[in-house]
Amino acid sequence: MSRQLDNQVTKRARALIHKQKQWRRMVYAMDAKGERVDWCSEQASAYCAIGALRRAAFDLSGDRQHAIMITNKIAQKIR
């Protein structure tokens, strides 16, 4: 995985949670009603850090499993 891809994913993830109302803890993603949804759902509007990384990676790759793999590698670097 390239450093450039890591940077793109991280930047997109930060944009997803940059406003406090878009930030969640202990849940990958929630919709506008506050209900839990899948992190790659179109209805997702608020994310935890990992959920935001996964969503950003999914938006760039279009593949759920690849997004999880990318996120895991990024998360290992920042632990």
As given in the structure block, the two tokens for residue 6 are 């890591």
Residue 25: the pLDDT is: 81
User: Which of 58, 66, 9 shows the shortest CA–CA distance to 38?
Assistant: 58
The pLDDT of 27-53, averaged and rounded, is: 94
- Pick 58 or 5 by higher pLDDT: 58
8 Cβ neighbours under 8 A, 6+ residues apart: 56, 60
Which of 5-19, 35-49, 61-75 shows the lowest mean pLDDT across its residues?
5-19
- Candidates 46, 51, 54, 50; CA nearest to 20 is 46
Extents of the domains making up the chain: 3-78
The one-letter amino acid at 31: D
